[in-house]
Amino acid sequence: MKNLTKFLFAALAFGAVMSSCGDDNGGNDNPTPDPLVLTVDAESILVGESATFTVKQGEVDVTDIALICGTGLNGSCLPANIFVAEVAGEYEFYAYFAKDANVTEGRLESNKVTVTCVDPTAFDPTKEPHKNVAFFVFTSTGCGPCGERKVGIYHPLHDAYPDNMVIVNAYSTSIQGLPAMVPSETAKFEQELSLPSNGFSMYSYPNVITNLRKGEWSDALLFNNPTPATTWAEVAQRAIDKMGTLITQPAKAGILVDSSVSEGNINFSVTIGAHEAGSYSIAALVMEDHVSAVQAGIGYDYDHTDVLRKSTSTSIFGEDMGDFEAGQKMTKEYNIPVDARWNENNLSLTVYVVDNSDKTITNIVKAPVDGFTPFKYEE
């Protein structure tokens, strides 16, 4: 009914336009009306989102009386000037005036506009997933050298690669009984990594492991305090150079996180998209920023960021998701109660994928606890 009403208005408008143009041309039987111009407020939208059209003739907004039609609409026109995408794909639209909807000859049509609808959960195996490097720092609030290295190395490193580096600060102690740090998760991981079967050396702090790969930094980064001939800036530059090589190692999988907080619980799903066939595991951590606590070597009110709060699995290597074919997706659901000691406004999720063939992290993302983090690809 709405389209019929709009069509009647469009027919009247068409006649009015033609008549008006005839007057302007001194009674010319073949007037040239101003063209219709169709525009849209969003050329790319997600499934479930909307795009709003505007139709103008010269300086006059004629959206309310124009018919807007397009491909993928089963031969019909939009009931209004809003298109809501239900299926991913490309849709082409145009607007028109006409005396008769079945007669195309002589009717006034606009330009064509394309709206691309994207499925946010779709994974494109032809594109290379964006690569992030996992940077596990096993540390302590009472470790003097740890504080120095945070400022001297980790901060410049993160500043150099803000879009390719995800830090997990795993604190081993709650110095002076401060409740802010929860060392139980760190102890669980340290014990596992120290097993002979894993072979990591966990005897001192800070202990830095990238991508859970043994010896990743041993040949490129000196964690000893700088000598007079070696400044923190020089040590940081070595780390930056090493990171430059790590991010060139392709990610074998992409990660999507869909999360929300409700009634004191963090509810989220993680979807792995395999760029390469293989066997993968997944791990999810609850993290917190802006934890104010002492840090030896810096002060008593240091702003601790990327603090490990909770692991969803008993193993640092995650939970086995099995074998994937290239392009295949798998999803896992999680529900984690928010601990009373955490500041919900400062929480985030860190999710990573482990390649089971060598037990190393192939990709990692940081995501909000209440939001949507889609698959991301290299440009």
Q: Answer yes or no: do 162 and 294 share one domain.
A: yes
Chain center to CA of 213: 25
> For the chain, first and last CA: distance in Å?
47
Q: What is the pLDDT of residue 10?
A: 45
End-of-domain residue from the set 118, 149, 182: 118
3 state SS of 247:
coil
Tell me if 127 is assigned to some domain.
Answer: no
Query: How far is Cα 252 from Cα 270, in angstroms, rounded to an integer?
Result: 16
Mean pLDDT of the region 80-91: 90
Residue 362 belongs to domain spanning: 133-373
Tell me if 270 is assigned to some domain.
Answer: yes
Q: Answer yes or no: do 299 and 199 share one domain.
A: yes
Amino acid at 375: F
pLDDT at 11 over 80: no
Chain center to CA of 92: 28
Side-chain half-sphere CA neighbours of 264 within 13 A: 4
Q: Answer yes or no: do 289 and 200 share one domain.
A: yes
Tell me if 146 is assigned to some domain.
Answer: yes
Q: What is the pLDDT of residue 135?
A: 87
Q: Answer yes or no: do 140 and 113 share one domain.
A: no
Residue with tokens 């909770």, as numbered in its chain: 310
Q: Answer yes or no: do 270 and 344 share one domain.
A: yes
Q: What is the pLDDT of residue 327?
A: 96
CATH number of the domain that residue 154 is part of: 2.60.40.10
Query: How far is Cα 148 from Cα 162, in angstroms, rounded to an integer?
Result: 20
pLDDT at 228 over 80: no
pLDDT at 171 over 80: yes
Q: Of the candidates 249, 254, 252, 220, which has an alpha carbon nearest to the alpha carbon of residue 236?
A: 220
Tell me if 194 is assigned to some domain.
Answer: yes
Q: How confident is the model at residue 73 (pLDDT cuts 50, 70, 90)?
A: confident
Q: Of the candidates 140, 235, 228, 138, which has an alpha carbon nearest to the alpha carbon of residue 181?
A: 140
256 in Cβ contact with 273 (< 8 Å): yes
Q: What is the pLDDT of residue 239?
A: 81
Mean pLDDT of the region 238-246: 83
Mean pLDDT of the region 128-153: 84
Mean pLDDT of the region 16-37: 59
Percent of the chain with pLDDT over 70: 81
